[in-house]
Amino acid sequence: MIRIFLSALLIILVSCHSHSQEEYEKNFDAPLLNQNEKYRLSGEYDSLVNLNKRYYKLADKINYEDGKALCYINLAELNISLENYQKSQILFDNAKEIMKDSENNIHKARFYNVYGRFNLELRRFDKAFEYNSKAMDCLQKSGKSELKNYLTFNIYFRRALYLVGKKQTKQALEYFHKAKKLDNTGLTDCAISDYVYMSKNRDSAFKYVTIAYNKARDRGKEDGIALYANTIMGEYYIADKQYDKAEEVLKQALKIDAKTKRIYAYYGKYIYNDLRMVYEHLGDKKKAYFYLNAYTEARDKTNTALLATINLDMESFIKESRKDSEKHKNNIQWVVLFSLAGLSLLGVYGWRMISLLKKRKAALKKESENLKNQINDNSQEEIMELARNNDPDFIDHFKEAYPDFINKLLAINPNLENSELVFCAMLKLHFSSKEIANYTLVQHRTVQQKKYRIRKRLNIPTETDTYQFFDDLN
């Protein structure tokens, strides 16, 4: 009799637990993940953060710890898109701590899949593949769930990307096509196009990117998928030397980027760089230079001002979760240690970002100077032609092109006459003594005398070459 009673009690408890989990999924998990994905794709950063804050409080109220973990995972994914990896790691750690004793395989599949993406961004391909496999194992162990298709698509899609990174091309294509069967947005078509193009199959790439582009257009949404489709289409047109078409779709991508950049901040710099390439090929150096500067600024903003704003928002969320931790564990020492660890990570991250930014700025400055020099080629030739013709306008045009040079000459000797400035300008342009004599209609010996006088007037050391002196005077 006692055995029958205990068996019945066990059945009732299991049944209640199962029903409870189904209710959690129906009333908490599914609405949260569906809305989170909508906000993520549309680039609505504030709405996404507030959504997860609201659900975190609800999870605390109904004592649903796995629900809190889901909020952490969503915000960790958000920070991956913003390249804010240190913050992602903290949020992942919080989720992992909650889920270490969890039996919710759907949540575990979600965690491992997003954590795999995190490792991919850090170029840890083997780790990314390992976590993706864990996500797949958890999904297979899970029962019926309305979230299963969504997670299956994401796991297949991510596995394909990891296999591309591991150079396992055949298997990658298999998983891309598995993901494509569960996707009608065009996202997988974009990825396949990108993958096929890297394999040098331009015709197939065009087929898939056209499908993705048309699907994005038919959806009528200016979101992350449309942003991806327009950007990939623009890059295809550049490779195919259809620069006018590339300009058109990249301008559309730029328009979408303006609406979604609070989540897809990293896209802007790639679009600017693509437009720079378009205008370089079209011979429009000024626009190419403009987009190079925009590209540089986008890189800087992504890693400074934007990250500072995101960090403040994330700190606010973590601060709330720490209060919750205090209430449940009453362990102030743990909170202090956690805070110090978080601040230390942020400090290391800040130092790393500053170092990285310095290197990027140096490289971009060099590229900017090279492009600027290209833009000035035509004006340089005009100035030299004015000098050859002994044109009175020569010195005015030269001053516009080299304002610092003239100012530095006058700083050395404020009493230099205009004719002496003209002579120095011609030396700056590397005209020989013979050429200067011919262009100014004087004897070669006169030019040599002027050189000697200029050396004295500017205190040029005897061991220093005159041309070298002027080259160094930038």
Q: Which of 291, 283, 338, 299 is nearest to 315 (CA)?
A: 338
Indicate the number of domains in the chain: 2
Q: Is residue 373 domain-resident? A: no
Q: What CATH number has the domain bearing residue 461? A: 1.10.10
Q: Which of 446, 442, 396 is nearest to 421 (CA)?
A: 396
Q: Is residue 96 domain-resident? A: no
Q: Is residue 361 domain-resident? A: no
Q: Which of 424, 440, 443 is nearest to 392 (CA)?
A: 440
Q: Which of 440, 441, 462 is nearest to 452 (CA)?
A: 462
**pLDDT on residue 234:** 87
pTM for the structure as a whole: 0.60
Count Cα neighbours of 175 within 13 Å in the Cβ-side half-sphere: 22
Q: Is residue 154 domain-resident? A: no
Q: Is residue 463 domain-resident? A: yes
Q: Which of 283, 301, 323 is the last residue of a domain?
A: 283
Q: What CATH number has the domain bearing residue 203? A: 1.25.40
How do the residues of the chain divide into helix, strand and coil, expressed in percent and rounded to 5? 85, 0, 15
Structure tokens at 66: 């796995």
Count Cα neighbours of 77 within 13 Å in the Cβ-side half-sphere: 24
Q: Which of 266, 283, 300 is the last residue of a domain?
A: 283
Cα 70 from Cα 109, distance rounded (Å):
11
Q: Which of 283, 312, 337 is the last residue of a domain?
A: 283
In one letter, which amino acid is 451?
K
Q: Is residue 208 domain-resident? A: yes
**pLDDT on residue 42:** 87
Q: Which residue stretches of the chain have pLDDT < 50?
A: 1-19, 305-306, 309, 375
**pLDDT on residue 1:** 45
Q: Is residue 246 domain-resident? A: yes
**pLDDT on residue 125:** 82
Residue 349 class from Cβ within 10 Å (0-12 exposed, 13-18 middle, 19+ buried)? Answer: middle
Cα 175 from Cα 360, distance rounded (Å):
36
Q: Is residue 198 domain-resident? A: yes
Domain span at residue 256? Answer: 187-283
Q: What residues contact 34, with CB distance under 8 A and at least 6 apart?
A: none
**pLDDT on residue 299:** 65
